[in-house]
Structure 1
Amino acid sequence: MAAMTIVCAAMLALPGRTVTAAFTNDVLIFLDGAHRIASGQLPNRDFHTALGPLVFFIPAAGYLLTGNLGAAMPVGMAVLLLAVMPALIAILNSRLHPAIALALGGFLLLILAAPINLGSPVSLLSFAMFYNRIGWVALSLLLVMYLRPRERGVTGEVADAMAAALLLLLQFYTKATYGLVSLGFILFMLTDARQRRWAAASLLLTLVAAALIEIGWGGTRQHVEDLMAAAQVSGGRDLASLVRSGLNNLADLAVFAIAAGVALWRTGSLRDLLFYGFCVTAGLLILNQNAHGWGIITLYSGTAVATELLVRLQAGRDRGAAAGRPSLADGLPLLLAFLLLPPIVHHGAVLARHAVLAAADAGTSLGLPKLRDLRIPDPADSPDFMTRYHESIESGGKLLLSLSPTPERVVVLDFVNPFSAGLGLRPPAGDSSWLHWGRNIDANTHPAPDVMFADAKFVMIPKVGINSLPLQQLYGPFISRTFQLVQETDAWIVYEKRQPRETMR
């Protein structure tokens, strides 16, 4: 597992470039956040975001290690892989048969490492929504801890508590939804007398670590407020979307039902039934909050747990006696192998494709000096809108550089601001890292204009934007009163903040 982790990390980090064939606007959120942190800002304290601070500190780590924004995402994820490796090995090695551990571990590693949104084809490389992959992998590892360790000891319980606390913190500080589900699982584990000590210790360690993080960060209160605001905009999901999520994953649900059914038939455990129900329910609820349609990763860890339980049961019955007749349960490891093999091949191909394209410096850049190593492959194959969006970013960068002196504290009235990071400008404070209409902002829930633009010196309004039109309707009157028109092109309108006297008039 260590060798596999190191290979995956090297394939991400060594080329030193990011290749994105989809959701460029989403990737720019993380690079803008890395630039903000490098400029001295902190998430939620200096800019609004409903995403956890680690979503920005992970690419910031890659940026600080390399000095290259184009390498920030792959290097940051490589660092994360190495950081998670001890917990992954400790959990799988103590609870699973080696073959099952290697299969499930390889699957989870590739989910975490492969730069693609779950369910997307191999061609759509992107680090977009990478926090969902982190959440799924951390939650799935925690679910494996439902199994009692093969060997018990104080050292093992300490390792379990530290691993569980690490995974809880990783989820809470990337996307809180996963953390809340995992917290529910740990509380469930408190009902197991044989595993109660490590579960309780993990909660204590998590609380202590969160208190120490708050001392250094100080953004928890504002983060909760940003989360609540985003929940008011997009928190609701109807029954139809839940059914649709289930239908999109019907094959995986069927295989999981077979594995869980066979295991329950042999164990007859009510506790196991509750665990399998948790895997399905929690997985569906999380998926229903995400932007991808496939990938209830909890089903895979649940199937691995069912397989391990039957392997242990069979080993106990066969110990000291001749092997009996083959049973239905004997086929469960093969069923698990067939369940894991397709996504392993898929995500392995994604990781290899990214490594090859990044090493070859394939594709074109956005045309911003600091984002030279953010590459877009085959721009001719991109949708017309995204092609025009990419071109508008390049023209907007040239427009800003043509102004004298070069502007700073620029707010872009669209999904994301590509210019602070792409041009190395001083970022504004008090604005939002991303503005996704209907997702974290709408006409009823949004940052107040006098807060949003308090530190802004310039405002850029795109004519080819992701959601600039509703944002103009929302903030346009305030901008007209507080800013003056500087320049207008076919793609952009640039405003500069008025002097106090002009604003009063």
Structure 2
Amino acid sequence: MQAETPLRAAPAGTAGRRIPWLPQLLLAAALILCIWLLTRPLVLPLGAMYWDLVLYVDAARRIAEGQVPLLDFLTPVGPLGYWLYAGLDQLFPQAHPLMTAQWSLFLITAPPMALVLIAADRRSRRLALGLLLPYLVFQILPVNVEQHSFFPGLDGFGIYNRQASIVLYVLVSALFVLPGRTLRAGVLLWCMLALLLIKITGFLAGGLVLAYGLLAGRLDWRLGLFAALGGLLMLAGLELSGGLVSAYAESILALLRINAGGILPRFLQAGSLHLDIVAAGGALILALAWIGRSEWVQGLRRLVRERSAASLHALCDRDEAWLAVTMAAGLFLETQNTGGLAFVFAWPVLLRILLRRVQDARPGRFLVLALVAATAIPPAMTVLQRAGRTLLAQSNYIALPNDHLGALGRVSQHVEVVGRAGKMQAIYAASTDTYEAIAAQQILPSQTLYSELDFQLGWLMAIDAGIAAILAHEARTGTRFDTIMSLNFVNPFPALMKRSSVRHIAIGADPFRAVPEPDAEALAAVAAADLILLPLCPVTVANQALHRVYQPAMTGRREIPLGPCWKGFVKG
């Protein structure tokens, strides 16, 4: 095992000036700031694919009605993120939903991170701050490393992917820093259960890291076994309380069947998308292996000679091996991600390399430090640069005018984008035949339609106009639509109008990736809906596909006009 390089002692006279508990105080201050901001009616710059945020808004409304994720409605990922959002939404009803979704994860990551900081600060203040500051950047800022638009904004998409990466960051930090195998095993169990209930690919990535932790001797297999049994007991409790675990497993299998395809192209895509990090990290692994080649040879000889667990642990617990494992786990996670925080959980490993090599006089020191910087800096600088640019740009932004969108509509964008969105809504409404012809070719009006800011703003405008049309129809006819369904990717109408949602159907209804064939229970629930909405601004192949999926449950309904952008289907 590589010997820990001792950190230099603080210069004489500085010990008294060391602020006690500084990392923990900074963490507490960040939490207090976020709580205060959750009480404020913030207006935030809209970013690409903002409508992904409605997944959390829709789920929170359903949970408030007594519905259970996976049992009463299908979700694209695990239920934990939706439960966290729903709980925080009850406490802070005035908060912007994007901040609620982003900061609800503090409930999971802050307690173990506080333990990590206590242990790290006892060893080195630099180590503690080096772990804390990136964590706060990634946990606080709702910004992905990918950018999809020219005008800056905050990212309402990829939220559960960001959550998985941040939990993995805490897991890797705990694996390297926490003393005492029992405490370490408990924290790792906490993180793994959170990953399992957030997104299964995050859980598998964490499993890869922990499996290597057993080889490297950072996990005791007996405690690991007890922790696994404890986790199984918790999952058994969830299963016995209503069948949640088996429903989750069934949803994962259903999504795998829908998204079946070769894994190699996804690895190539993920690697090319983040080539800067992958290339720098790969070069750093090779450089460290070459510099330490004699140690590798000695470790292998010792393993062959002794054939002991200690010699295996010493061989495996090396910086370059750990970096290879975390980079592989990160690459696997990115094969299933759309947006997120690529490879950020490799930072604790990079920090360990940095703190060791900065005092290492061996040849290759500066090459290693340069490659550490090239691997670690891109995601952090991208997030900070995008957040800073958004903060500066919004001084020229205008708020989206709306009457019925509540906190979801507290967004702003450049005046040109807002103006274009309104004009495009009029064009969509007046050119239905054109967009039906485009949909007939099984394509979208634009290859990047959903990431375009004017589409997202226009979609919000259409939702606002649709609610106004529904309310006007109800007032005119004396009816009330208690249960509302939308043949669209997301359905904000029940949450915004305080109505009920149709059970047993998918939220995040991508008909090509996330909507299984509806069973009899789902079709019956759709048939019982008071109002089913079909968006027309614009007509898209995805919305038409959803219409076909649920058409068997819509027989006998009559069509009512609800403004230029919506068709309504009501019971005959």
The question of a shared fold, defined as TM-score above 0.5 by the shorter chain, is answered with yes
1:208-232 deviation digits (Å, cap 9, x = unpaired): 3323344556422222222221222
Quote how far apart the aligned CAs of 1:359 are: 12
Instruction: Name the CA distance, whole Å, in 2 between partners of 1:419 and 1:4.
Output: 40
1:459 corresponds, among 532, 539, 545, to 532
CA contact (8 A) 1:364 1:379 kept: no
- Match in the other structure for 2:196: 172
Say if 1:58 and 1:174 are closer, same or farther in 2 by CA, change over 3 A. Answer: same
- In the alignment, the residues of structure 2 paired with residue 263 and residue 145 of structure 1 have an alpha-carbon distance, to the nearest angstrom, of 23
Query: What is the deviation of 1:169?
Result: 1.5
Please state whether the residue corresponding to 1:493 is helix, strand or coil.
strand
Shift of 1:471: 1.5
Corresponding position: 1:50 with 2:123: no
TM-superposition CA deviations, 1:416-449 (whole Å, max 9, x none): 101011111122222222211322137xx45556
Q: Matches of 1:385 and 1:455 in 2, distance apart?
A: 31
Q: Is 1:386 matched up with 2:415? A: no
Residues 11-90 of structure 1 mapped to structure 2, 5 A cutoff:
11=34, 13-17=38-42, 19=44, 20-68=46-94, 70-81=95-106, 83-90=108-115
User: Once the 2 structures are TM-superposed, how far is the Cα of residue 350 of structure 1 from its aligned partner?
Assistant: 5.0
1:424-435 correspondence runs (5 A): 424-435=498-509
Task: Find the aligned partners of 1:446 and 1:399 in 2 and give their Cα distance.
Answer: 29
Correspondent of 2:169 among 129, 134, 140: 140
Q: 1:119: how far off?
A: 1.6
2-structure distance, mates of 1:435, 1:473 = 13
Counterpart CA distance in 2 for 1:453 and 1:18 is: 35
Q: CA deviation at 1:188?
A: 3.3
Of 205, 223, 228, the residue aligned with 2:253 is 228
Aligned to 2:132: 105
SS of the equivalent of 2:192 reads helix
Letter in 1 for 2:27: T
**Aligned residue runs from structure 1 range 183-194, under 5 A:** 183-193=207-217
Between stretches 332-341 and 424-433, larger displacement belongs to: 332-341
Query: 2:155 is paired with a residue of what secondary structure?
Result: coil
Deviation, structure 1 residue 43: 0.7
Deviations 1:347-390 (A, max 9, x none): 34555677899999962255425446532433632644334322
Supply the AA of the counterpart residue of 2:126: A
In structure 1, distance between residues paired with 2:328 and 2:543 = 37
Please, which of 346, 353, 374 is the counterpart of residue 410 of structure 2?
374
Shift of 1:336: 3.5
C-alpha displacement of 1:88: 2.0
Which of 359-368 and 193-202 deviates more? 359-368
1:450 to 518, 523, 539: 523
Question: Relative to structure 1, is the Cα distance of residues 47 and 484 closer, same or farther in structure 2, using a 3 angstrom cutoff?
Answer: same
| Correspondence 1:468 to 2:564 | no
Equivalent residue, structure 1, for 2:423: none
Pair 1:300 & 2:355 matched: no
Task: Indicate the residue corresponding to 1:248 in structure 2.
Answer: 273
1:290 aligns with 2:363: no
The gaps in structure 2 that reach 5 residues or longer are: 1-22, 300-314, 419-451
Q: CA RMSD in A?
A: 3.4
Paired amino acid for 1:24: Y
Conserved in 2, the CA contact under 8 Å of 1:66 and 1:72?
Answer: no
**Quick one: distance in 2 between partners of 1:160 and 1:17?**
38
- My pick for the range that moved more, 276-285 or 223-232, is 276-285
1:21 and 1:126 in contact (8 A); partners too:
yes
Matched, 1:407 2:431: no
Contact 1:412 1:459 in 2 (8 A): yes
* Secondary structure in 2 matching 1:173: helix
Change (3 A) 1:379 1:454: farther
Local SS of the residue matching 2:413: coil
**Are residues 224 and 453 of structure 1, via their aligned partners in 2, closer, same or farther at CA, if it must alter by over 3 Å?**
same
Question: Deviations along 1:210-261, whole A, 9 cap, x unmatched?
Answer: 2334455642222222222122222434533422321222221232234333
Cα 1:50–1:165, aligned 2, differ >3 Å: closer, same or farther? same
What TM-score comes out, normalization by structure 2 length? Answer: 0.74
Distance 1:326 1:306, change over 3 A: closer
Distance, in Å, in 1 between the alignment partners of 2:340 and 2:81 is 22
Task: State the partner residue of 1:261.
Answer: 286
CA–CA distance in structure 2, aligned partners of residues 167 and 148 of structure 1: 15
Instruction: Give the distance between the partners of 2:159 and 2:277, measured in 1 at CA.
Output: 22
Q: State the SS of the aligned residue for 1:459.
A: strand
Q: State whether residues 139 and 182 of structure 1, in contact with CA within 8 Å, keep that contact through their aligned partners in structure 2.
A: yes
The gaps in structure 1 that reach 5 residues or longer are 315-324, 499-505
**Aligned partners of 1:208 and 1:18: how far apart in 2?**
43
Decide whether the 8 Å contact of 2:24 with 2:117 is kept in 1. no
Q: Following the alignment from structure 2 to structure 1, what is the Cα–Cα distance between the partners of residues 455 and 30? A: 33
- The alpha-carbon distance between structure 1 residues 333 and 473, as it changes in their structure 2 partners (threshold 3 A), is same
1-structure distance, mates of 2:227, 2:212: 13
1:447-482 per-position Cα deviation (integer Å, ceiling 9, x unaligned): 556245154221111112562122123333541x14
- The answer as to whether partners of 2:73 and 2:503 remain within 8 angstroms in 1 is yes
Contact 1:28–1:418 (Cα < 8 Å) also in 2: yes
Aligned partners of 1:191 and 1:365: how far apart in 2? 58
Aligned to 1:116: 143
Q: Percent identity?
A: 19
Deviation, structure 1 residue 334 = 6.2
Contact 1:459 1:495 in 2 (8 A): yes
Distance in 2, Cα, partners of 1:45 & 1:283: 30
Distance 1:18 1:132 in 2: 24
